[in-house]
A and B are shown apart, each in its own frame.
Chain A
């Protein structure tokens, strides 16, 4: 703390000129050497870890609260409705009944997977926002694979569809990662532009080579067949995609937290110079992470085809990819936090119908809320380390 105060007070601070900061080295500061009788310092360190964890929960909550205030003002002034009534209806429409809860979970399933497409590369310091493209590409690939496998056992068809969707989605994001790593192209822009390519390619395929002649108003591929559809979780109307998403999240968590791969990814994400200096193959880390992230979004596309639409068409472009970016940022790219956040976002979109029916609000209303939340989350990033309650006490 001392060193930091001094450094901040210095008007012409440069690394080579950091004499007052270095001064803190020579005086025996309030730091305590661990090892010997360091009871209080260990307790302090544990307290500090709790403070850090609490901060990571509190800041997004503050951002959510601020968003609901801003959105409330928007509702009252622009839409001229009572914000409290809207929030009441939103709760009812999202979590108020078994039916609405299931509706929420169905919408959360693809969000969980598309969020991983942003959250995984984020561990390496990449900002990938091509989730929609990977979902669409994965969906088309899955539908094509399903049609090719026609006549095989449903479980085999589903398996091949999943593999095809994940492979193509993974390659889609891998392209952005490769451009970044070996050509220095900004991965955010590259992945966003790849999304437009994916959507255009999908339109070309469903209107051309893959078009089912019977799809008149909405050009689509041929249906994969009722027998090959993914069913629902027992006792619910929620399809298996939700379970797959949760499993993918847990797997990601284990990979990132408990394996040497995750440790290496953290190193490369935190300081690529240090990672190179330790001989790590940063290119391989980028490739694998982007591949996995894209595979998650591609699986979301496969699930949309195999559990919801039964075929690939423009309905795949439903904004799940973009909403997934929001979910990933709101969860601070933590794979386990993605699940509850996706449920929250799924709830917001599930409540849309009720808002339209009861209050005659346009369907863009919830998009405004999503946008407000996203801006608030990004603004909230500046709060980390600023709130006194969460600052470490030891120093």
Chain B
């Protein structure tokens, strides 16, 4: 028999949330939010980072208990105090990151996720039942492949099928396409869309991407700072209206307009670079690239195609296996002397993990580049903390870093402020080459705009910028030239104006 769910409604359920509120300490993550998801609809939950989307979904799934409010399924009030109860009501969630066990087969994974796994498994019968189940589904997955061997799109499909197998007919998708190529995303979402049309399931999807809303969604609910900012049918709303609901009215500096300029001299030249990942597998494979002064070269690609290793080699955190990196025509080994001489700055992803020491103060972290230079050091030996702190105060003010004092440990700052502090450190000096990786990951809208503006401003000053980002929109917005990385190789290189998104998307998928 299949996973039994006695209470699970048979058709696609309707769900309504009325007046949900959730506080964490003095911070209202949700404030009187109501949302109505019709049976068999494809409903999108829109909002910036921190708008309360995840909190709302976690309340629905029983991970949090809301302080106030009710939830109705098929117009009957229900109580969900635990994830198990949510499952019993047919609510299932597909997370942003895969939760299947990679080295087990799809069949084993499906069986494993059942609430009650029998002590002795009759594999022949289970397989027959699963095959019968899959036959009734609009798409299928290979049952005997290890999950690790599946492509990202197939994994995502397996995650969705698993929820259906567990009798969930209301499926919550948390940014399901962030790990997929555009082609894969369209295919998965298109299939889901058809399933909602047939009344098989109801879908609530969290996303940032308007393109997906326009192409697939029936209705949308928009949250802003924990409150309901608007809702409606997608057909009645245009992008400008949704953007306004999402962002509201606020003063945010727009990205600095790019100054048209001729390509300068080559600053960074990468020639036939090869590097391995932590397990010794080839991660960067014969990669060659040149970045000129005054241009931003964007490297697009789905995560895990060698971007991390490339950045680590350029930043001095990993040894290359082969190839040459030259800056200003000289061989570059990322030593401190070379960084100083060639004016290289680096803004790695997750700056707290990659570019800061959490327990050291904001002032000390801001001095990492210049602590051994005058005026911070006399004779290159004796540390002078007063100029260090004075410089930090100026940077804190100029880059609007929110900290209680320059002496607070940098780990006590919020993510956006750590990012600002690192940006201040890297851009405050004289810079010729800036290496940036996923600079806006996990930041809110205001911080993103500011950081992007700083990067463009650096380019306008004549800095050569190498931007590695998994966010294609970011690359399209910032880069002068775009290269696509796939399995450690550059597959496609194009000027950004007149770039063909279709070609870029196919290159990201390795075509």
Give residues in A with beta carbon < 8 Å to B: 1-3, 5-6, 9-12, 14-27, 29, 31-35, 38, 41-42, 44-45, 48-49, 257-264, 266-267, 270-271, 273-274, 276-281, 392, 394-395
Contact = CB atoms under 8 A, between A and B. Distances in A.
Contacts of B48: 26
B327 to A, nearest CB: 12
19 contacts: A2-B24, A5-B27, A12-B63, A17-B95, A18-B442, A20-B54, A22-B50, A22-B416, A24-B50, A25-B416, A32-B404, A33-B401, A33-B402, A35-B393, A45-B405, A45-B408, A257-B383, A274-B368, A281-B335
Interface in B408-422: 408, 412, 414-417
B226 A23 contact: yes
Contact of B24 (A5, A33, A262, A270): A5
Contacts of B226: 23
Contacts of A12: 63, 95
A19 B50 contact: yes
Contacts of A274: 354-357, 368
Contacts, number: 198
B338 interface: yes
A394 B404 contact: yes
Contacts of A21: 414-415
A35 B397 contact: yes
Interface in B429-451: 441-447
Nearest to B359: A270
B337 interface: yes
Contact of B348 (A44, A262, A277, A394): A277
Interface of B: 24-27, 29, 48-55, 58, 63-64, 95-97, 174, 225-226, 315-317, 334-340, 346, 348, 350, 353-360, 364, 368-369, 371-372, 377, 380-383, 393, 396-397, 400-408, 412, 414-417, 441-447
A271 B358 CA distance: 8
A108 to B, nearest CB: 30
B27 A2 contact: yes
A263 B27 CA distance: 37
A20 B50 contact: yes
B43 to A, nearest CB: 19
A10 B24 CA distance: 10
Tell me the dominant secondary structure on chain B's binding face.
Answer: loop
A14 B99 CA distance: 13
A26 B356 contact: no
Contact of A279 (B49, B316, B353): B316
Nearest to B398: A35
B201 to A, nearest CB: 23
A9 B446 contact: no
A18 B316 CA distance: 28
Contacts of B445: 26
A8 to B, nearest CB: 9
**List of 6 A-B pairs having minimum Cβ-Cβ separation, nearest first:** A270-B357, A279-B336, A23-B50, A45-B405, A19-B54, A35-B397
A20 B24 contact: yes
Contacts of B337: 279
B26 A2 contact: yes
B366 to A, nearest CB: 12
Given A17-B95, A18-B415, A279-B339, 5 more contacts: A15-B350, A23-B27, A25-B49, A38-B405, A260-B383
B335 A279 contact: yes
Contact of A258 (B355, B382, B402): B382
B404 A17 contact: no
B226 to A, nearest CB: 7
Contacts of A270: 357-360
B337 to A, nearest CB: 7
Contacts of A392: 412
Nearest to B57: A19
Contacts of B404: 31-32, 34, 41, 44-45, 48, 394-395
Given A5-B24, A277-B348, A23 B359 contact: no
Contacts of A35: 393, 396-397
Contacts of B443: 22, 25
A22 B440 CA distance: 12
Given A32-B404, A44-B404, A281 B25 contact: no
Contact of A31 (B356, B382, B403): B403
A178 B346 CA distance: 29
A292 B81 CA distance: 58
Nearest to A36: B397
Given A1-B25, A20-B29, A273-B353, A262 B383 contact: yes
B439 to A, nearest CB: 15
A49 B405 CA distance: 11
A32 B413 CA distance: 11
B55 to A, nearest CB: 6
Nearest to B369: A278
A31 B416 CA distance: 13
Contacts of B441: 16
B316 A31 contact: no
A3 B54 contact: no
Q: Give the most central of A11, A22, A31: most B CB within 10 Å.
A: A22
A279 B54 contact: no
B371 A277 contact: no
B453 to A, nearest CB: 17
A34 B358 contact: no
